[in-house]
Amino acid sequence: MALAKLLEGKIVADRIKDKLKASVLSLKQAPVLASILVGDDPSAMAYVKSQAKIATSLGITYNLHQLAESISEDELIDFVLKLNADVSVNGIIVQIPLPQDINYMKVCEFILPNKDVEGMHPTNIGKVLFGRVRIVACTANAVMELLSFTGIDLYGKEVVVVGHSEIVGKPLALLLLEKFATVTVCHIGTSKAGKLEEHVRRAEILIVAVGKAGLIKGDWIKEGAIVIDVGINRVGDKIVGDVEFATAAKRASWITPVPGGVGPLTVAILMRNLIEAAQAQ
Ligand code: NDP
């Protein structure tokens, strides 16, 4: 069997970015993204750096607000409210992880829905539920873009999503349902019941967003399946996904590399959400 084709996020991201450059030029002024970083978590700092670089390359103003690790939840919410009131700010993003005593989803509830460029406000999540998609969670949307790139028609396909977080698995399941895929969402309960393998084995499309290296064995992959690995895990000095790549690539038709799959696309989608928010405002 031939090796799977690589589903590289960069190629799709570059196409999106080309369109975004033109959209920015058509706006009266450069859109402004306010990014809130609490503390100095190294992975969040790296993510912020890459966001800032891409924003600048597109003509977007990226304002980083680095706040002290000691900030309380109420103080952070007050900060968000100030950015809501600032008409020069088009979009707000709260970087994760946050300190343990701050609830990320609660903070997101205070972002104005039309400035919530990550699609985390309940109003925006609710719109996804009703199929009135406006701003959609970036990672879930990145997965949909990758699937679209393969040319697959999702209608009636057996899609298995592993992971049911608010930022990836749950919104993704809704987006897939919108396309009439048959969606199974697996989570820790599925694994504990010993049923993860049987669900993965019948997936025509498998999307994994857990954060556990090697959780999905390569020989579980159905021949010809499309495999999208959202997971990011540091193993020694390497970054790997949740799927055993080498063996999975011998069975899949398409597979995302990690790094280089979903990641590069997520930031491009974030910028697209910002520009769409600025246009709507
Ligand atoms: P969360 O920790 O919020 O969610 C992980 C999910 O996996 C939960 O639903 C959890 O279930 C489930 N889970 C945990 N253990 C198992 C198991 N043994 N079997 C099946 N399901 C399990 O993580 P995120 O959704 O935020 O992120 C998931 C991964 O994706 C991480 O590695 C993260 O770094 C990566 N990521 C990558 C992005 C990118 O741009 N490439 C963007 C966002 C995330 P339960 O909650 O019930 O325990």
Q: What is the CATH number of domain 28-117?
A: 3.40.50.10860
Question: Which atom in ligand 1 lies closest to the alpha carbon of residue 169?
Answer: 25
Q: Which of 230, 256, 267, 271 for a ligand 1 pocket mutation test, highest count of atoms within 8 Å of Cβ?
A: 230
User: What confidence tier does 154 reach under pLDDT thresholds 50, 70, 90?
Assistant: very high
> Residue 247 belongs to what H/E stretch?
helix 245-249
Mutational test site, ligand 1, from 146, 168, 170, 273, max ligand atoms within 8 Å of CB: 168
How confident is the model at residue 1, as a pLDDT?
Answer: 62
Residue 135 has a pLDDT of 87
Q: What is the mean pLDDT of residues 5-30?
A: 94
Query: Which H helix or E strand runs over 200?
Result: helix 196-201
The answer, yes or no, to whether residue 55 has pLDDT greater than 90, is yes
Q: Where residue 43 falls among pLDDT bands split at 50, 70, 90? A: confident
Rounded average pLDDT over 116-123: 93
Highest CATH level, class, for 137-263: alpha beta
- Decide: 267 in ligand 1 pocket, CB within 6 A: no
In the chain, where the domains are located: 28-117, 137-263
Q: Is the CB of 168 under 6 A from ligand 1?
A: yes
- Cα(first)–Cα(last) distance of the chain, in Å? 51
> Is residue 71 pLDDT above 70, yes or no?
yes
- On the question of pLDDT at 220 being above 70, the answer is yes
Looking from the CA of residue 96, the nearest atom of ligand 1 is: 26
- Percent of the chain residues past pLDDT 90, beyond the cut: 91
Question: At residue 16, does pLDDT exceed 80?
Answer: yes
Q: Is any atom of ligand 1 closer than 6 Å to the C-beta of 268? A: no
pTM summary value: 0.94
Counting from 1 in the atom list of ligand 1, the atom nearest the Cα of 187 is 21
Q: What is the pLDDT of residue 7?
A: 97
Which whole number is the average pLDDT over 98-125?
95
Residue 241, judged by CB atoms within 10 A of its CB (0-12, 13-18, 19+), counts as buried
Q: In the β-sheet with 226-229, what is the strand arrangement from edge to edge?
A: 5-6, 254-255, 226-229, 205-208, 158-162, 182-186
CA distances from 147 to 144, 193, 234, 274 (A): 5, 29, 25, 22
pLDDT over 80 at 62, yes or no = yes
Q: How remote is the CA of residue 65 from the centroid of ligand 1, in Å? A: 27
Mean pLDDT of 155-169: 96
pLDDT in tens, 190-213: 999 999 999 999 999 999 999 999
Query: 16-25, 124-133, 208-217: lowest mean pLDDT where?
Result: 124-133
Which phi and psi (to 5°) does residue 159 adopt?
-115, 130
Cis? peptide before 259, omega within 30° of 0: yes
